[in-house]
Chains A and B, each alone.
Chain A
């Protein structure tokens, strides 16, 4: 395994963006689009090859690359396991879709937009590959910058407010994480994640503080109640592609962070703070579902529903049961596909009428039947209908939660009912009913590129709904390993305390 496949994955998009940057501005858009599309598709194929050659029966990290960066201090170390590979494939799958979607929606500074997206891809894949805390932190934070620009430059009327809100919220959490990383280096002498997980036991008193520091960063990113208010604003103002990346991948970094750092590094603290996470998740599920019910802006509604869906993820992860964790993982992947598609759908409508208000629509099914059909499929996916990928994640999370706390599972189950209510009500007001707005009559149905990306997403949602086997196979051993290590360290802790 000499070919540095992970580095290639990370830096290929960067290379693409350099190409676009250097390309002649005059003949601009067309060439840039093809370059971007080509690099991102090549990256997707590469990640599929990676997935194919990945061995799901091994719990250890694979494809490990290691280079000294600042000697004796920071190593540039990469590697993947069954958890991160899925996020990488998700990222490389979503990015080409975003790039195709820009063709219709971005009107100004196309080249710069594509550069931002490709750079963002580099950072996101970096996050999921890095095996060194400092490298992880760099990628994690660097991702903020392109996203900040995407919202701030290509966003809606209130874009500056939203961009700053997004930036401040996430930065505030991350600063604490940086402090925690420095603390870890001082107390253990290394920032190598594998070493910390496998060989070093962090004293339990320290674990509590560090866990909280990491948590503050991840909770904002997730986002969990009550630090979720940046998300609706960011989504509303962001351009379609920005919303898609935000919902599909950036939010997943937090869930990944819990799995990669919080639980394996600070098992005792994770156990200790489980009730906190449970309460916040359940509040998030019910509170944001109710808020979503009353929204009159489509994007805001979907943004709030994202918060509720992420509540299931945290709930599942912190059950520390196999079904719960796998359910949480599955929910993340599935939400990545479904919410991306829903934002794309809203984008399709917005490109045509320049309105996101639900009250401006109604009865569109007569004029854009293909769109309506696809929108309904994703609505059903979002409300977790069996046969779509949305169901499996939610159901397994609830199975896992029930083992820990039946009350939590029942309350979270109420969220499923509320979700049906707000999604179906949304569909009713947008798709069905009488036509109120005369603009609707001039709508054009999906064009080829929109059809292509939505059908791709739709098929993925359905296929994983009926045959989720490949995902479970890939993550199975890694999740087992995670839970075993977790339980082992809890046991050791009890023994040493006695």
Chain B
């Protein structure tokens, strides 16, 4: 069964790619079917694990074995991986089904389905790995699929650039992860999770010298691991690829850039909780980066106009939440938020896809509006997603996001207090920008001049059914699983898969804290309506008087421009310089070309001696002879 979960998507990927010879329908049906079976099986595994305690580690075969460096292909089934399995395969199968409708006009359906299945396979190998090398395989594998899918519409230059950017920024992160693996192998002599984790306590105070100063080994490992996580999960400074990644088809954004791949970083940190628990410094760093990302992304999301980019920044911001949750040591809460987020964010993206579909590929929310009566089901589901995202009471986001804020408070440290404040404030911002999206898209005047309002239409059933399932997940997943993931049952559920050095006690929480987030979130709805629909002039005036601030936010804090200025352009210049000045003007000029020139020069001179005239030779002989005689006489 475990093998089937892992390999069915791979089979699906291969079959659907080559299935194009049997027609598009074959590809679509097969890939959907196999991923759905995989989803059902993983739910069974999850259930078996929880009720009957059936966990295990299955070794498939040896991958690399060089000296002490050993890594196997393996399937590790433990509570953490089962949760991830369920999240990945269910969202993936729903997205597969949705894609049949969404991509119905695209000529490359088999390729699309194949990439989606391949992605699912890579993601599964990532989460079921029992060692860092297979994790790295999955890690780069999902990066590859992300690259292929972002650049799916390969005729668009912007899509290709976004794909390359995503891959390269991710590679920067991957280098961090690789260095962490080198460090661990160097000191612990293994790349296996269990072996490394068991050695960590012995090395807790080990100091090593790195770039001239001493660092705590564990902290160093944690920081490099986190660089990897930052790249994959689009955290501040390495986040630039995620908004651009929206060039890909919308189902891809829902699956990869919201529900699963981008959460791999969170998974990595939680998986390595036995390491992170021994480094307070690294945890603090994570918390800070998480908080910065949460606020940064929310602030940018408020002024964006592309419906998908708003949701992308929202994802970024929610990932920030997950990270500062891990930063305060609440790993299980982070995974809980990851779990609920997968449903409501996939719902939002697919809903947005449905809206885009209705407007015939229009993504600018300024060119929408007033259509809620025309697409009522999408509208309702988008409302559900938004409520869940903002943390409206009793929907899934409410349980997980408020839990993050509560646990930050309970940590009772300065970083925890900061996190609480940031969490509440960002929740408010989240609510503002989410409702802005809803109001601008569905309410107000109809602003699209290209398509008349009666041409907009509801999506076909095959797209709405997955939305419906995700809607159920967005509403109930929080309520049903909260006891198990973060409540009283959490010790029984997580077992050894999450490690706490000192557990946060879930005790008294002041009432003001419990109430503040929901109240702010609800208050944000009328505020948002007032500013974005009812009285837009206030904001317009504010925008005009504060142009620099507006531009700063609109241009995403100018980070892309900064990177172009700092890295991209200089590297190109240096490359050109090395090529023209280094290779051609220096090495070749003084090397082979120079030598051959010198030889040519001398041989030309030598040629002049061989004129072929007797008197020339006679003259030379005469000189030689006289020189010889002079020499002899002088001696």
Taking CB atoms and an 8 Å cut-off, the chain B residues in 30-62 that contact chain A are 61-62
The answer to the question of A413 belonging to the interface, with a C-beta cut-off of 8 Å to chain B, is yes
The answer to the question of B151 belonging to the interface, with a C-beta cut-off of 8 Å to chain A, is yes
A168–B600 Cα distance when bound, in Å, is 14
The answer to the question of B572 belonging to the interface, with a C-beta cut-off of 8 Å to chain A, is yes
The answer to the question of B88 belonging to the interface, with a C-beta cut-off of 8 Å to chain A, is no
Per-position binary interface string of chain B over residues 198-228, scored 1 when its CB falls under 8 Å from any chain A CB and 0 otherwise: 0000000000001100000000000000000
Residues on the B chain within 8 Å of A200, using CB:
none
Taking CB atoms and an 8 Å cut-off, the chain B residues in 573-605 that contact chain A are 574-576, 578-579, 582-583, 587-588, 591-592, 595-596
A365–B107 Cα distance when bound, in Å, is 13
Nearest chain A CB to B400 CB, angstrom units: 32
Per-position binary interface string of chain A over residues 429-446, scored 1 when its CB falls under 8 Å from any chain B CB and 0 otherwise: 001111000000000000
The answer to the question of A399 belonging to the interface, with a C-beta cut-off of 8 Å to chain B, is yes
- Residue of A with least CB distance to B144: A385
Nearest chain A CB to B344 CB, angstrom units: 32
Residues on the B chain within 8 Å of A432, using CB:
151, 154-155, 160
Residues on the B chain within 8 Å of A69, using CB:
none
User: Which of A164, A291, A398 touches B583 (beta carbons < 8 Å)?
Assistant: A291
Known: A322-B67, A392-B64, A402-B182. A294 touches B171 (CB 8 A): no
The answer to the question of A287 belonging to the interface, with a C-beta cut-off of 8 Å to chain B, is yes
Nearest chain A CB to B147 CB, angstrom units: 8
Nearest chain A CB to B182 CB, angstrom units: 4
The answer to the question of A179 belonging to the interface, with a C-beta cut-off of 8 Å to chain B, is no
Residues on the A chain within 8 Å of B178, using CB:
395, 398, 413, 416
Q: Is the CB of A386 within 8 A of B175?
A: no
A61–B140 Cα distance when bound, in Å, is 40
Nearest chain A CB to B112 CB, angstrom units: 14
The answer to the question of B136 belonging to the interface, with a C-beta cut-off of 8 Å to chain A, is yes
Nearest chain A CB to B180 CB, angstrom units: 11
User: Which of A230, A386, A398, A434 touches B155 (beta carbons < 8 Å)?
Assistant: A434
Known: A291-B582, A468-B64. A433 touches B157 (CB 8 A): yes
Nearest chain B CB to A237 CB, angstrom units: 14
Known: A290-B574, A387-B137, A420-B167. A469 touches B65 (CB 8 A): yes
A226–B582 Cα distance when bound, in Å, is 9
Taking CB atoms and an 8 Å cut-off, the chain B residues in 154-174 that contact chain A are 154-155, 157, 160-161, 163-164, 167-168, 171-172
Nearest chain A CB to B66 CB, angstrom units: 5
Q: Is the CB of B579 within 8 A of A295?
A: yes
Nearest chain A CB to B515 CB, angstrom units: 48
Nearest chain B CB to A462 CB, angstrom units: 12
Count of chain A residues with a beta carbon within 8 Å of a chain B beta carbon? 59
A386–B179 Cα distance when bound, in Å, is 16
Q: Is the CB of A399 within 8 A of B172?
A: no
Taking CB atoms and an 8 Å cut-off, the chain A residues in 361-416 that contact chain B are 363, 365, 380, 385-387, 391-392, 395-396, 398-399, 402-403, 406-407, 409-410, 413-414, 416
The answer to the question of A34 belonging to the interface, with a C-beta cut-off of 8 Å to chain B, is no
A396–B579 Cα distance when bound, in Å, is 29
Q: Is the CB of B140 within 8 A of A385?
A: yes
Number of A-B contacts (CB under 8 A): 141
Nearest chain B CB to A323 CB, angstrom units: 5
Interface centre among B167, B572, B575 (most CB of A within 10 A): B575
A291–B581 Cα distance when bound, in Å, is 11
Taking CB atoms and an 8 Å cut-off, the chain A residues in 419-473 that contact chain B are 420-421, 424-425, 428, 431-434, 466-469, 472
Residues on the A chain within 8 Å of B147, using CB:
424
Residues on the A chain within 8 Å of B538, using CB:
none
Q: Is the CB of A424 within 8 A of B168?
A: yes
A431–B155 Cα distance when bound, in Å, is 10
Residues on the A chain within 8 Å of B175, using CB:
410, 413-414, 416-417
Q: Is the CB of A396 within 8 A of B64?
A: yes
Q: Is the CB of A293 within 8 A of B572?
A: yes
A416–B185 Cα distance when bound, in Å, is 20
User: Which of B168, B185, B576 touches A399 (beta carbons < 8 Å)?
Assistant: B185
Residues on the B chain within 8 Å of A407, using CB:
211
The answer to the question of B141 belonging to the interface, with a C-beta cut-off of 8 Å to chain A, is yes
Residues on the B chain within 8 Å of A7, using CB:
none
Per-position binary interface string of chain A over residues 465-483, scored 1 when its CB falls under 8 Å from any chain B CB and 0 otherwise: 0111100100010000000
- Residue of A with least CB distance to B576: A294
Judged by DSSP, the binding face of B is: helix
A395–B69 Cα distance when bound, in Å, is 11
For the side of the interface on B, what is the size category? 35 or more
Known: A386-B141, A399-B69. A229 touches B154 (CB 8 A): no
Residues on the A chain within 8 Å of B211, using CB:
407
Per-position binary interface string of chain A over residues 167-184, scored 1 when its CB falls under 8 Å from any chain B CB and 0 otherwise: 011000000000000000
Nearest chain B CB to A394 CB, angstrom units: 10
A148–B140 Cα distance when bound, in Å, is 41
The answer to the question of A242 belonging to the interface, with a C-beta cut-off of 8 Å to chain B, is no
Q: Is the CB of A326 within 8 A of B66?
A: yes
Judged by DSSP, the binding face of A is: helix
Per-position binary interface string of chain A over residues 276-296, scored 1 when its CB falls under 8 Å from any chain B CB and 0 otherwise: 000000000001001111110
Nearest chain A CB to B196 CB, angstrom units: 15
Q: Is the CB of B65 within 8 A of A472?
A: yes
A226–B186 Cα distance when bound, in Å, is 32
Residues on the B chain within 8 Å of A327, using CB:
66
User: Which of B133, B144, B596 touches A380 (beta carbons < 8 Å)?
Assistant: B144
The answer to the question of B558 belonging to the interface, with a C-beta cut-off of 8 Å to chain A, is no
Nearest chain A CB to B167 CB, angstrom units: 6
Known: A230-B592, A291-B583, A428-B160. A326 touches B151 (CB 8 A): no
Q: Is the CB of A293 within 8 A of B136?
A: no
Nearest chain A CB to B582 CB, angstrom units: 7
- Residue of B with least CB distance to A429: B160
Taking CB atoms and an 8 Å cut-off, the chain A residues in 155-211 that contact chain B are 164-165, 168-169
A417–B227 Cα distance when bound, in Å, is 14
Nearest chain B CB to A204 CB, angstrom units: 28
- Residue of A with least CB distance to B579: A291
Residues on the B chain within 8 Å of A292, using CB:
575
Nearest chain B CB to A451 CB, angstrom units: 15
Nearest chain A CB to B185 CB, angstrom units: 6
Q: Is the CB of A322 within 8 A of B168?
A: no
- Residue of B with least CB distance to A365: B154
Q: Is the CB of B155 within 8 A of A363?
A: yes
The answer to the question of A334 belonging to the interface, with a C-beta cut-off of 8 Å to chain B, is no
A395–B147 Cα distance when bound, in Å, is 21
The answer to the question of A39 belonging to the interface, with a C-beta cut-off of 8 Å to chain B, is no
- Residue of B with least CB distance to A327: B66
Residues on the B chain within 8 Å of A169, using CB:
592
Residues on the B chain within 8 Å of A466, using CB:
63, 73
Residues on the B chain within 8 Å of A399, using CB:
69, 181-182, 185
Residues on the A chain within 8 Å of B574, using CB:
290
Nearest chain A CB to B146 CB, angstrom units: 13
- Residue of A with least CB distance to B170: A420
Q: Is the CB of B136 within 8 A of A396?
A: no
Known: A229-B588, A293-B572. A413 touches B179 (CB 8 A): yes
Residues on the B chain within 8 Å of A230, using CB:
592
A398–B64 Cα distance when bound, in Å, is 14
Residues on the A chain within 8 Å of B181, using CB:
399
Q: Is the CB of B67 within 8 A of A326?
A: yes
Known: A322-B67, A363-B155, A417-B171. A165 touches B592 (CB 8 A): yes
Residues on the B chain within 8 Å of A293, using CB:
571-572, 575
A418–B574 Cα distance when bound, in Å, is 13
Taking CB atoms and an 8 Å cut-off, the chain A residues in 320-345 that contact chain B are 321-323, 326-327
* Apart from the given pairs A227-B587, A229-B587, 19 other A-B contacts in the complex at a CB distance below 8 Å: A165-B592, A168-B595, A291-B582, A322-B66, A326-B66, A385-B144, A387-B137, A396-B66, A399-B181, A402-B185, A406-B179, A406-B183, A407-B211, A417-B168, A420-B171, A421-B168, A424-B167, A469-B65, A472-B65
Q: Which 6 A-B pairs have the closest CB atoms?
A: A322-B67, A290-B575, A402-B182, A432-B154, A386-B137, A294-B575
User: Could you list 12 A-B pairs, sorted by A, with CB under 8 Å?
Assistant: A226-B591, A287-B578, A291-B575, A291-B579, A294-B572, A323-B69, A380-B144, A396-B64, A409-B182, A424-B163, A433-B155, A466-B63
